[in-house]
């Protein structure tokens, strides 16, 4: 017990401690990413996405250079605020991701040319020198925080001040000498970025790395959940990232690859026109009980510094059985079949045994660990889906101190008792917060299973969501100890049908979230709340654009005051009896009026004038009932 160790909860510390590096399990998802067959790794929280990312970046098996991009809250805010007149929000955010990728590729070209001698020339080729000069001129030659790089990039793309003179296009892009002074912000930014990408491509072609068989630069993007807040701008942030990765393949050929790691609850809620173009790129991480048993064996052997067999691990280190069930099966059935769950459960068993002074893990140690692990997982589930389902803790309480097998009518009765309180506490969700919708959500996130055929199925083991006529509901075994609901309900005979197949608790992804009344990640908020959010987002975007508009200072101040007043009037909905719809429509009319005022003053081609008209049109479109991922946060 002193030496037994199964690893850390997070991939970064696990890799540093050596267990992830030495005991890494080479899954299908990892092999597909390593070999370049897949570029989109999708998995639930704790399924091993960051472990694959760390192994690709630092494990030593990928033969080429890598670059990691893991945005934090500050970086996410910078991308969410980035917008360009003339482009949809998705496409605007795709540009800033393309800029980040281009900078990484340019740095790679300069560094690679310095370290690897191509041909007999000692002097760097002119295209490589041009990229070096570009990096220096724009402050991108040093290692800086991602947030700082984003701040510089967003400012230069919005203001058309990206230094590109080393590529021979500075004047035409920045000063408008080729009659581009009346083009939109988006068009000017795209011209800048096209010039930069063309320069990088020429540098790569000059070195001839692909022809020479050099492995491509591998850009890894992870930890997107840290910047996800389930709003239209977050949706556009991730959608823009996906669009930018497609551009990489078209722009750099085989010289640069990108692999994205996205949590399934985020990916499954994306809704954009080109979504079907990523099907062949995606691979979903799934784990079987057998694979997790192999993971446990590898880590136990490494920590004890001697090879173990499965019989030794599950008969000497651990007890052979727990409550009459093989220990490995007992642990697998009471977890969500993810590496993080396995590590936490196994570690808790070890800690209990160590605290009790046991030389090996006893059945009683496993039983004590089971209760604590269940409490952890129940709290983790509520946190994992808190953004889209903020009421989960209150819903979980409906199953406490009862039976784990519940008839739908029983649940409906319990839900009816707290519905008024839920609607008061979560007023933004009242239109969709109903008993049937909650059952669908609980099934989709894996809390509930449903009796179907000769067993109980959970979300990851079936492509069919819970049906309205299916009444036999089961709390997942993982959560029963925490809720004290191990018993069987009266009227239901005792059953062990969940043991009949590993499929009963296998987890894949939560695509059923798309079938619930959801917008970005979870229950759909009420229409009035969505309308006010649209108005507020539009107002904030316009105020930012006014701040950098090429208008006289007095005009900017006047327009900002009028826009702020219109926004405050929209936010005041309901105070004098006017409906939210009426106030938001008035806000759209106010934007059109401001655009007309600027046009009459001779500023009709200014980006802010065009954006005012765009935002007014967009709000009118939403008022008319048209909705869709990314599109509701765009300008025409």
List strand residue ranges (DSSP E) for 90-212, in order.
none
The reported pLDDT for the residue numbered 208 is 84
Beta bridge partner(s), residue 219: 67, 258
- Higher-confidence residue of 480 and 210: namely 480
Region for 139 from its dihedrals, namely left if φ exceeds 0, alpha if ψ lies in -120 to 50, beta otherwise: left
Q: How far apart are CA 255 and CA 522, in angstroms?
A: 39
Q: How far apart are CA 160 and CA 260, in angstroms?
A: 29
- Higher-confidence residue of 13 and 321: namely 321
pLDDT digits (tens, 9 = 90+) for 222-267: 999 888 887 788 889 999 999 999 999 889 988 999 999 999 888 8
Q: What does the pLDDT average to over 271-282?
A: 83
pLDDT digits (tens, 9 = 90+) for 515-547: 444 333 345 666 777 788 888 888 988 898 888
Q: What does the pLDDT average to over 289-303?
A: 93
* Position 510 pLDDT exceeds 50: no
* Position 169 pLDDT exceeds 80: no
Q: What does the pLDDT average to over 295-322?
A: 94
The reported pLDDT for the residue numbered 86 is 83
Q: What percent of the chain has pLDDT over 90?
A: 44
The reported pLDDT for the residue numbered 574 is 56
Beta bridge partner(s), residue 284: 42
Q: What percent of the chain has pLDDT over 70?
A: 86
The reported pLDDT for the residue numbered 355 is 95
Report the top-level CATH class of 289-383: mainly alpha
Asked whether 483 and 334 are in contact (CB, 8 A), the reply is no
- 């692990």: which residue's tokens? 373
Q: How far apart are CA 547 and CA 35, in angstroms?
A: 47
- What is the separation of C-alpha 483 from the centre of its chain, rounded to a whole number of angstroms? 29
Stated as kind and residue range, the H or E segment containing 284 is: strand 282-284
Give the least confident one: 12-26, 309-323, 375-389, 392-406. 12-26
Q: How far apart are CA 624 and CA 54, in angstroms?
A: 47
Give the least confident one: 21-25, 137-141, 296-300, 336-340. 21-25
Region for 116 from its dihedrals, namely left if φ exceeds 0, alpha if ψ lies in -120 to 50, beta otherwise: beta
* Residues contacting 552, CB < 8 A, separation 6+: none
Q: What does the pLDDT average to over 388-401?
A: 90
Q: How far apart are CA 137 and CA 319, in angstroms?
A: 65
Burial (CB count within 10 angstroms: exposed 0-12, middle 13-18, buried 19+), residue 340: buried
Stated as kind and residue range, the H or E segment containing 540 is: helix 527-547
Q: What does the pLDDT average to over 293-305?
A: 93
DSSP state of 226: G
Side-chain half-sphere of 208: how many Cα atoms within 13 Å? Answer: 6
* Nearest residue to 442 (alpha-carbon basis) of 434, 431, 453: 434
Q: How far apart are CA 95 and CA 539, in angstroms?
A: 22
* Position 607 pLDDT exceeds 70: yes
pLDDT digits (tens, 9 = 90+) for 179-192: 345 577 888 899 99
The reported pLDDT for the residue numbered 18 is 66
- What is the separation of C-alpha 358 from the centre of its chain, rounded to a whole number of angstroms? 42
Asked whether 235 and 533 are in contact (CB, 8 A), the reply is no
When mean pLDDT is compared over 7-11, 86-90, 339-343, 601-605, the highest value belongs to 339-343
Any idea of the CA torsion for 396, 399, 404, 406, to the nearest 10 degrees? -110
Start and end residues for every CATH 1.10.8 domain found in the chain: 289-383
Beta strands at 448-452 and 325-326: parallel, antiparallel or unpaired = unpaired
* Nearest residue to 474 (alpha-carbon basis) of 465, 487, 463: 487
* Position 499 pLDDT exceeds 50: no
* Position 554 pLDDT exceeds 60: yes
**How far from each other are the two terminal CA atoms of the chain, in whole angstroms?**
64
Q: Give the Å distances, CA to CA, from 430 to 197, 315, 394, 425.
A: 48, 52, 15, 10
Beta bridge partner(s), residue 263: 43
- 């191990």: which residue's tokens? 486
Residue 575 pLDDT class (50, 70, 90 cuts) = low
Give the least confident one: 102-106, 339-343, 422-426, 471-475. 422-426
Sign of the alpha-carbon dihedral angle for 602, 606, 612, 615: positive
pTM attached to this predicted model? 0.81
The reported pLDDT for the residue numbered 488 is 58
What three-state secondary structure class fits 629?
coil
Phi, psi of 533 (to 5 degrees): -65, -40
- Higher-confidence residue of 431 and 155: namely 155
DSSP code per residue over 32-59 = HHHTTS--EEEE-TTSSHHHHHHHHHHS
- What is the separation of C-alpha 254 from the centre of its chain, rounded to a whole number of angstroms? 26
Residue 508 pLDDT class (50, 70, 90 cuts) = very low
pLDDT digits (tens, 9 = 90+) for 35-46: 999 999 999 888
Q: How far apart are CA 245 and CA 281, in angstroms?
A: 11
Q: How far apart are CA 473 and CA 132, in angstroms?
A: 62
pLDDT digits (tens, 9 = 90+) for 107-127: 999 988 877 665 445 577 888
The reported pLDDT for the residue numbered 523 is 59
Phi, psi of 475 (to 5 degrees): -70, 135
Q: Helix axis angle, 553-571 relative to 527-547, nearest 10°?
A: 170
Asked whether 203 and 106 are in contact (CB, 8 A), the reply is yes
- What is the separation of C-alpha 381 from the centre of its chain, rounded to a whole number of angstroms? 16
Q: What does the pLDDT average to over 550-562?
A: 90
Stated as kind and residue range, the H or E segment containing 256 is: strand 256-263
The reported pLDDT for the residue numbered 58 is 87
Apex 351 CA angle, 505 and 506, nearest 5: 10
Q: What does the pLDDT average to over 401-413?
A: 94
The overall average pLDDT reported for the chain is: 84
Q: What does the pLDDT average to over 568-577?
A: 73
Beta bridge partner(s), residue 407: 472
- What is the separation of C-alpha 142 from the centre of its chain, rounded to a whole number of angstroms? 28
Residue 362 CB coordination number (10 Å): 17
Q: What does the pLDDT average to over 461-484?
A: 88
Q: What does the pLDDT average to over 451-469?
A: 82
Q: How far apart are CA 511 and CA 635, in angstroms?
A: 29
Beta strands at 40-43 and 282-284: parallel, antiparallel or unpaired = parallel
């Amino acid at each position: 017990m002193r030496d037994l160790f199964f690893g850390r909860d997070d991939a970064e510390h696990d890799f540093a401690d050596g267990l992830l590096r030495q005991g890494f399990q080479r899954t299908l998802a990892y092999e597909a990413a390593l070999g370049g067959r897949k570029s989109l790794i999708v998995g639930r929280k704790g399924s091993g996405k960051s472990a694959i990312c760390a192994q690709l970046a630092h494990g030593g098996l990928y033969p080429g250079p890598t670059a990691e991009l893991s945005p934090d809250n500050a970086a996410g805010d910078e991308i969410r605020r980035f917008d360009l007149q003339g482009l949809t929000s998705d496409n605007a955010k795709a540009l800033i991701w393309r800029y980040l990728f281009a900078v990484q590729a340019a740095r790679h070209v300069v560094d690679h040319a310095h370290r690897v001698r191509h041909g007999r020339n000692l002097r760097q080729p002119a295209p490589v020198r041009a990229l070096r000069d570009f990096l220096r001129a724009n402050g991108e030659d040093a290692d800086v925080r991602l947030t700082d790089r984003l701040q510089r990039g967003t400012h230069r793309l919005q203001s058309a001040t990206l230094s590109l003179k080393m590529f021979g296009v500075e004047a035409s892009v920045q000063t408008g000498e080729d009659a581009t002074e009346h083009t939109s912000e988006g068009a000017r930014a795209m011209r800048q970025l096209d010039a930069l990408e063309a320069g990088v491509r020429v540098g790569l072609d000059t070195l001839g790395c692909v022809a020479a068989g050099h492995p491509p630069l591998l850009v890894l993007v992870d930890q997107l959940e840290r910047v996800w807040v389930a709003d239209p701008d977050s949706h556009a942030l991730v959608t823009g990232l996906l669009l930018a990765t497609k551009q990489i393949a078209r722009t750099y050929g085989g010289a640069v690859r990108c692999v994205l790691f996205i949590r399934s609850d985020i990916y499954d809620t994306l809704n954009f026109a080109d979504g079907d173009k990523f099907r062949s790129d995606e691979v979903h991480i799934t784990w079987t009980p057998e694979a997790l048993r192999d993971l446990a064996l590898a880590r136990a052997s490494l920590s004890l510094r001697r090879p173990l067999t499965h019989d030794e691990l599950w008969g000497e280190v651990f007890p052979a059985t727990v409550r009459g069930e093989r220990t490995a099966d007992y642990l697998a059935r009471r977890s969500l079949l993810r590496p993080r769950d396995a590590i936490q459960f196994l570690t808790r068993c070890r800690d209990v045994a160590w605290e009790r002074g046991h030389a090996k893990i006893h059945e009683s140690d496993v039983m004590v660990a089971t209760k604590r692990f269940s409490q952890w997982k129940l709290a983790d589930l509520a946190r994992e889906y808190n953004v889209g389902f903020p009421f989960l803790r209150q819903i979980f309480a409906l199953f406490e101190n009862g039976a784990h097998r519940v008839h739908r009518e029983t649940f409906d009765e319990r839900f009816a008792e707290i519905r008024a309180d839920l609607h008061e506490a979560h007023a933004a969700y009242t239109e969709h917060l109903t008993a049937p919708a909650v059952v669908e959500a609980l099934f989709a996130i894996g809390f509930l299973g449903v009796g179907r055929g000769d067993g109980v199925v959970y979300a990851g083991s079936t492509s069919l969501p819970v049906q309205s006529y299916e009444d036999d509901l089961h709390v997942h075994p993982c959560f029963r100890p925490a809720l004290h609901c191990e018993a069987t309900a009266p009227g239901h005979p005792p059953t062990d049908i969940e043991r009949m197949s590993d499929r009963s608790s296998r987890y894949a992804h939560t695509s059923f979230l798309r079938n619930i009344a959801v917008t970005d990640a979870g229950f759909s908020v009420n229409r009035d709340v969505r309308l006010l959010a649209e108005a507020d987002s539009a107002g904030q975007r316009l105020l930012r654009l006014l701040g950098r508009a090429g208008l006289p200072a007095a005009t900017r101040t006047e327009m900002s005051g009028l826009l702020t007043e219109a926004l405050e009037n929209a936010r005041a909905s309901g105070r004098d009896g006017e409906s939210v719809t009426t106030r938001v429509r008035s806000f759209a009319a106010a934007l059109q009026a401001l655009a007309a005022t600027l046009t009459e003053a001779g500023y009709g081609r200014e980006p802010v004038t065009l954006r005012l008209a765009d935002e007014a049109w967009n709000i009118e479109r939403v008022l008319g009932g048209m909705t869709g991922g990314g599109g509701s946060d765009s300008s025409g």
